[in-house]
């Protein structure tokens, strides 16, 4: 049974899926039927943060040019860049082994940005059906889902959700916060 979150809601993964160890985070979106004259390329990325809400190093930014976390277990793995977002279901996915994420990583921030949004004059107001979901890798059962419902007509990057460790368990928060200066605004905030 899928738990659907609304913006700002939180839930304990241990309570809704006891014994959960490996998940994949699926993200999807569609482009509205508007012609900007340029292709849309949305990119998912992950920020691995310490207790101070900052990345532990530049290697803790996981995206299409840095597909795995720097720990020896490679506990977080981006599966690659989808340049078009065409088709149904997940457009990009990230695998996370919750049992092997190093303890110094306290929060995993899940973001989506529009590649070259300013140059292409694109924003999230031109995107629809955007979602993030957390799926049990072993059973393929969707556990938690958050559908982006608001209109973000000036934003070019979004923090979709956060996984965070609290009291020895992993929790999920549906965030849905938009930013106007693309990926750089997010990077600056977490350095």
CATH number assigned to the domain with residue range 20-190, chosen from the 4 options 1.10.3720.10, 1.10.260.40, 3.90.76.10, 2.60.60.30 = 2.60.60.30
pLDDT for the residue 34: 65
pLDDT for the residue 90: 81
Digit-coded pLDDT (tens) for 104-163: 999 999 999 988 888 888 888 888 888 999 999 999 999 999 998 877 888 899 999 999
Q: How far apart are CA 46 and CA 98, in angstroms?
A: 14
Task: Name the residue ranges covered by the structural domains of the chain.
Answer: 20-190
Q: With 70 as the cut, is the pLDDT of residue 81 above it?
A: no
Q: pTM, whole model, 2 decimals?
A: 0.91
In sequence order, what are the residues at sequence separation of 6 or more whose Cβ sits closer than 8 angstroms to the Cβ of residue 181? 156, 157
Judged by phi (left if over 0) then psi (alpha if -120 to 50, else beta), residue 105 lies in beta
Q: How far apart are CA 1 and CA 29, in angstroms?
A: 22
């Amino acid at each position: 049974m899928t738990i659907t979150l609304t913006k700002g809601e939180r839930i304990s993964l241990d309570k809704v899926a006891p014994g959960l160890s490996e998940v994949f985070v699926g993200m999807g979106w569609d482009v509205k039927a508007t012609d900007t004259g340029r292709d849309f390329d949305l990119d998912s990325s992950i920020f691995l943060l310490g207790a101070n809400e900052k990345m532990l190093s530049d290697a803790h930014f996981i995206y299409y040019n840095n597909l795995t976390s720097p720990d020896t277990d490679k506990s977080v793995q981006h599966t690659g860049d989808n340049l078009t977002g065409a088709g149904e279901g997940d457009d990009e996915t990230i695998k996370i082994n919750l049992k092997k994420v190093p303890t110094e990583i306290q929060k995993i921030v899940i973001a989506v940005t529009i590649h070259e949004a300013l140059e292409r004059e694109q924003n999230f107001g031109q995107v629809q059906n955007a979602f993030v979901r957390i799926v049990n890798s072993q059973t393929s059962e969707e556990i938690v889902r958050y559908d982006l419902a608001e209109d973000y007509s000036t934003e070019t990057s979004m923090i979709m959700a956060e996984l965070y460790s609290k009291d020895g368990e992993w929790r999920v928060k549906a965030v849905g916060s938009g930013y106007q200066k693309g990926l750089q605004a997010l990077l600056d905030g977490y350095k």
